[in-house]
Structure 1
Amino acid sequence: MAVELTRRNVLALGAAAMLPSIPAGPAGPRREHHRVVIVGSGYGGAIAAYRLAEAGVRSLVLERGRRWPVLPGGDTFPPFLAPDRRSSWFTPTPVYPGMPPVVYRPYAGLFERVRGDGMDVITGAGVGGLSLVDGVMLQPDGDVFSRVMPSGVDYQELADVHYPRVRARIGAQRIPDDVLANRRYAPTRLFLDQAARAGLPTARLDEACDWSVVRDELAGTAVPAASIGEYLTGINSGARTSVDRNYLAWAEASGLAEVRPLHVVTDIAAAAQGRYEIRARQITEDGVPVADLVLTADALILAAGSMGTTRLLVRARETGALPRLTDEIGRHWGNNGLRLYLRALIPSPTGPYQGGPTSVAITRWADPARAVTVEFGPAPFPVETHAMPLPGIGLCEPAGHFRYDPLTDDTRLTWPSTADAAAQAAIRDTLQTLVAGTPTPGPHPPATGIPVLDGLLSAAAAAPYGLLDMNALEPYTFHPLGGAVLDRACDLFGRVHDHPGLYVLDASLIPGSTAACNPALTVAALVERCLDTLIPTDAGTVF
């Protein structure tokens, strides 16, 4: 039976309602069978493909986005303050907060903004997923970790085995002294100095970054990118050690993993003989449909991120495609307590083109109940602004949930605004302590010539303490967590309850918070931990 371009499938494509329809060929959709199908190529999908290949198991990886190879010309990724059609997933304007407005032809770009009730989520699209643009590898404190994760997950095992393994394989490193001493990193040193004066503990962060390439940028032998604050939308010099360049590349090199970009999964369902059916549409970078596919698999690994995986599962349960899925699917979601601030009126110069990527933070973890991390997020401001972006992460309640609406055939997130109130208070208190350490206000930010940026800087200068809560202007997060949580919707190793051969291996496993830290390292370490059990027990028996 052909896959039709129904409203259901259009909605599953995200904002792809502009994609034109093509009639199915006389033979209908292309049909294939695979031993393992992996949906998504970010941290979870890439690690799964590599570990399966290492064990001699073939897999097919379906990724909705395109490949983003770093090219010598240094123009793979779009500049943050000069966005173009590469910036967003099939919308005519940018969706990343703070980008200047511009209109362009829709494209298979980097970011999608998934609208929800009470919270929007910024997700990635591309081979490598969000690892293309976000590489902070921050390991949580054990006491804080134990407050948010199921008791069956042993923090010490992660600390001894899986966190170090991921850092080594991804090549996560802390900013070296010589790079930190460079004039481009003066605002990073300033942040550390101000935190020390305020009595706040700080740390250098492990970052998925090849700092030798950043040295080349500073020496003028590589395209300037990270060193001028251009890292939020990808690093054109090649300094980012994203998973398409390690785990996934190793899997493909083995000959046992096939990666298919621009394949949008629309539906999953039960198939005969205990297998799973996956329906997908292959598209061009402009969104033109190429082919419809109906795949069956002995094992299906969902690694499409919290939003992609959860929406597929909730929809499959509510439409009867996987009717035995537990009611725990679609629950225990959180925004990781993420809050983004813009600080203005800093007395000392903060510099134009602040060197990145994110490499230092305040780590206020002594009280596990109020643990908070505040990072310095360097920005590509074109002029001196006496300002710094300061993302904060605290602890939130996993109170978000997803509902399926049969009238619109849409699955939508609902988030209560009070669920991260404790995180907001802890972040605000830490920032006010930071500002109190440098009480003399600096000058009002000068005009940059970029209206959206000038508006934000003026609002920050007028805000109490010179701190603009950007999430008070519009609620959004870059850290979606939960929806198919360990020990609730899944067992402690990602097996979906009562569905042999169906696995979740991504941020959906985590109940709302990664213990006041960026999620990437913990997501990757959990996936490694799950596969340490799944491969020896399920490969050759379940699939």
Structure 2
Amino acid sequence: MSPTTMVSECNGTNTTLPFLNINSCDIPNQIDPTAMVDLAEHRNQDKISIAAAPDYLSTRVFLSQANNLQSKEKVVCDYGISSITPKFSTLALDWSVVANEISCKVLPSATIGEMWYGMNSYSEVGQGEEKILYGIKNSLDRNYLAQAKATNMLDIECLSEVTSINQLVDPVTDEVSYRIIVNKIDENKVDAPQQIIYEAKNVILSAGSMHSARLLLESANSPSCTDITKPGLPSLSPYVGKLWGQNGDLFATQLCNEPVRPANGGPGSAECDFQFGDDPKTYLKENNASPFTKMVVYPVWYEESVSIQNTLMMGVCQNTAPGQFVKQADGSYQLSYPQTIEANGKFEGGMGDSINTAINTLNAWKAANTAGVDPTKLAQFKGYQGPLHCSTNTKRTLTGNSAAENEHFDVAYGMTPHPLGGCVLGKACDSYGRVKSANGDVVKGLYVIDGSLIPGSTGACTPAWTIAAVAEYCMAEISSELTTSRGCSK
């Protein structure tokens, strides 16, 4: 009989339930009671419809526009769309927290657009008005880490940066162990970290696709902390640091001819799936465009205009993972990703396939919802299409020139909240996350268990559950190999 896992528990929940008329106390509390104060005493007893709340105006407008496009058969046909599926987002979230934010039982976070900042709504309780956090996300601190912490076999060291991993081989027994060098950061003396040395029989890297491969490469190509004539790690597979991708992600901003309150209502609450053509592979090759894309409306807390709608779009590219980590002059490794080029109205290379479908989708959306609208009813700003540019502040730049061309949407790429790859299964690692050496053998005691194992894309969807499933799959195989760690020194 298979054990109950975090993934199977999430798959068994009805994530659309909170958008109906419900009593927030009827929503199962997803927060581990050992890690968080129970919400029961703070739950209201009134019926609440989250989707009908003022904070979720953007959700209602988005779904209305999606349904409007779906109903216009000519537009759908003209843009080659084979299916449109608008729906509430399926995410691992505790919507009882949002219900309590809306009913003023806790101070707001998710409902005011703090999507990228933890979304820690809180309540001041007790005589000392202690702040108790209630995050909406079913994040690692609420599930895997909470369960591990409950075993009393886990220590979590915050403000700690691993700088190198060094393999040690006993000259007598040939026993392999590892020495990990860590900088412990003092908040009051950030430029003078304390060095801590850990020793262990096994090292599992879960630093994410932005750091696991980088740490391996830098350690394997730098002198060992015990013998400067040797590298810290043996020569690794040439695939380490390769096959990195950004999940086909891009940001799209659209203009609406009605208020949408874009700064409120989070996190992603509604989405729309689009499919193109009859055969996905043929469509991708013949059109240099993703055969499907997912469009998710999300809040931007600093947004000043009331009529701008922000969406995250996810597609697929023919080359899902063209990025790699490249050695720099100072010995560090940094990510390199091929440039996306625009030619004759089409995008090529890099994110090209995903961008082409996104623009086609947004044009269809415009044709159904804002084409022909009096331009004075739309915010005046220059449409932008290109790499996501750096900004020195959070203020959106609107043009003051009423004669400026009024675009209905812009597209920004070259960013992702879902980086994947760098230590891919079957390439840099074996089928269970064991790191491979240059000759293809497994490096004893060295593992990668995170999004680095996935080659650049999870098929136009949020990769969190896929990463969790892959991690559980790998751990089920390797757990019997893991031995007790040795300890640490300062």
**Fold in common (TM above 0.5):** yes
Matched, 1:399 2:322: yes
- Tell me, in whole angstroms, the C-alpha distance in 2 between the residues paired with 1:444 and 1:187: 16
In 2, distance between residues paired with 1:457 and 1:242?
Answer: 40
The letter for the 2-side match of 1:257 is L
Tell me, in whole angstroms, the C-alpha distance in 1 between the residues paired with 2:313 and 2:210: 22
Q: Indicate which of 370, 389, 397 corresponds to 1:455.
A: 397
Which residue of structure 2 lines up, in the alignment, with residue 167 of structure 1? 10
Q: Distance in 1 between matches of 2:50 and 2:482?
A: 45
Deviations along 1:280-317, one digit per CA (max 9) or x if unpaired, are 11111242545212212111000001011011011122
Q: Does 1:210 find its partner at 2:118?
A: no
Please name the residue that 1:349 is paired with.
Answer: 259
**Letter paired with 1:313:** L
The match for 1:333 among 244, 247, 265 is: 244
Quickly say closer, same or farther: Cα 1:224–1:331, change in 2 above 3 A: same
Is 1:281 matched with 2:188?
Answer: no
Q: For residue 325 of structure 1, report the CA deviation from its aligned partner.
A: 0.8
Post-superposition shift, 1:180? 1.0
> For each residue in 1:447-484, what CA deviation from the matched residue of structure 2 results, as whole angstroms up to 9, or x when unmatched?
9xx9743306889x96775111233xxx3222211110
Deviation (angstroms), 1:219: 0.8
Per mean C-alpha deviation after superposition, the further-off stretch among 526-535 and 175-184 is: 175-184
Is 1:307 aligned to residue 246 of structure 2? no
**Secondary structure at the residue paired with 2:92?**
coil
1:436 aligns with 367
Greater share of residues in helix? 1
The CA distance in 1 between the partners of 2:455 and 2:358, in whole Å, is 20
Match runs of 1:62-211 below 5 Å: 164-165=7-8, 167=10, 173-174=15-16, 175-177=18-20, 178-199=49-70, 200-211=84-95
**2-structure distance, mates of 1:468, 1:264:** 38
User: Corresponding residue for 1:445?
Assistant: 379
Q: 1:278 to 1:464 in 2, by over 3 A?
A: farther
For residues 248 and 232 of structure 2, what CA distance do their matches in structure 1 show? Answer: 33
In the alignment, does 2:466 pair up with 1:527?
no
- CA distance in structure 1 between the partners assigned to 2:14 and 2:184 by the alignment: 34
Match of 2:423 among 473, 479, 484: 484
Q: Report how far residue 363 of structure 1 moved.
A: 1.3
Structure-2 separation of matches of 1:421 and 1:429: 12
Asked whether the 8 Å contact 2:262–2:309 carries over to 1, the reply is no
Find the aligned partners of 1:479 and 1:313 in 2 and give their Cα distance.
Answer: 21
- Cα deviation per residue 1:101-135 (whole Å; 9 max; x = unaligned)? xxxxxxxxxxxxxxxxxxxxxxxxxxxxxxxxxxx
For 2:310 and 2:58, locate their aligned partners in 1 and report how far apart those are by CA, in whole Å: 11
Query: What residue identity is the alignment partner of 1:410?
Result: S
Superposed displacement of residue 348, structure 1? 2.0
1:249 maps to which residue?
A: 146
Structure 1 Cα separation of the partners of residues 433 and 14 of structure 2: 25
Match of 1:232 in 2: 116
Residues 424 and 165 (structure 1 numbering): CA distance in 2 closer, same or farther, change over 3 Å? Answer: same
User: Can you give the 5+ residue segments of structure 2 that lack an aligned partner in the other structure?
Assistant: 21-48, 71-83, 122-133, 170-174, 223-230, 282-290, 340-348, 382-391, 437-441
> Residues 331 and 290 of structure 1: is their aligned pair in 2 closer, same or farther, counting only changes over 3 Å?
closer
Q: Deviations over 1:128-175 (max 9, x none)?
A: xxxxxxxxxxxxxxxxxxxxxxxxxxxxxx9x9878426269x89345
Residues 1:339 and 1:222: Cα distance change in structure 2 (over 3 Å): same
Whichever structure has more strand as a proportion of its residues is 2
Which among 315, 322, 331 is matched to residue 233 of structure 2? 322
Q: Verify the 8 A CA contact 2:253 2:308 in the aligned structure 1.
A: yes
8 Å contact from structure 1 (residues 480, 512) kept in 2: yes
After TM superposition, the structure 1 stretch with the greater mean CA deviation from structure 2, 310-319 or 360-369, is 360-369
CA distance in 1, matches of 2:119, 2:450: 24
RMSD: 3.0
Change in Cα spacing, 1:335 to 1:468, as seen in structure 2 (3 Å) is same
- Taking a change above 3 Å as real, the CA distance of residues 423 and 458 of structure 1, as seen in their structure-2 partners, is farther
In the TM superposition, what is the alpha-carbon distance from 1:357 to its structure 2 partner?
A: 1.0
Of 243, 258, 269, the match for 1:359: 269
Paired amino acid for 1:378: P
Take 1:482 and 1:254, find their aligned partners in 2: how far apart are those partners?
31
> What is the letter of the counterpart of residue 19 of structure 2?
P
Change (3 A) 1:191 1:225: same
TM-score calculated relative to the size of structure 2: 0.70
Q: Deviations over 1:193-228 (max 9, x none)?
A: 111111232222222321111111111111121112
Amino acid in structure 1 at the alignment position of 2:241:
G
- Give the CA deviation at 1:394: 0.9
Between the aligned residues of both structures, percent identity stands at 31
1:162–1:252 distance in 2 versus 1, CA, 3 Å: closer
Partners of 1:526 and 1:338 in 2: CA distance: 21
Secondary structure, counterpart of 1:429 in structure 2: helix
2:311 matched to which residue of 1? 390
Give how far 1:515 is off.
Answer: 0.7
Shift of 1:334: 0.7
**1:433, CA displacement in angstroms?**
1.3
**Residue in 1 aligned with 2:412?**
470
**Deviation of 1:492 (Å):** 1.4
CA distance in 2, matches of 1:334, 1:491: 19
Query: CA 1:280 to 1:470, structure 2 compared with 1: closer, same or farther past 3 Å?
Result: same
Shift in alpha-carbon separation, 1:428–1:464, aligned structure 2, 3 A: farther
The count of aligned residue pairs is 375
- What is the deviation of 1:278? 0.8
Alpha carbons 1:280, 1:292 under 8 Å: kept: yes
Deviations 1:473-522 (A, max 9, x none): xx322221111001101111111122121111111111111111122121
Q: 3-state SS of the aligned residue for 2:196?
A: strand
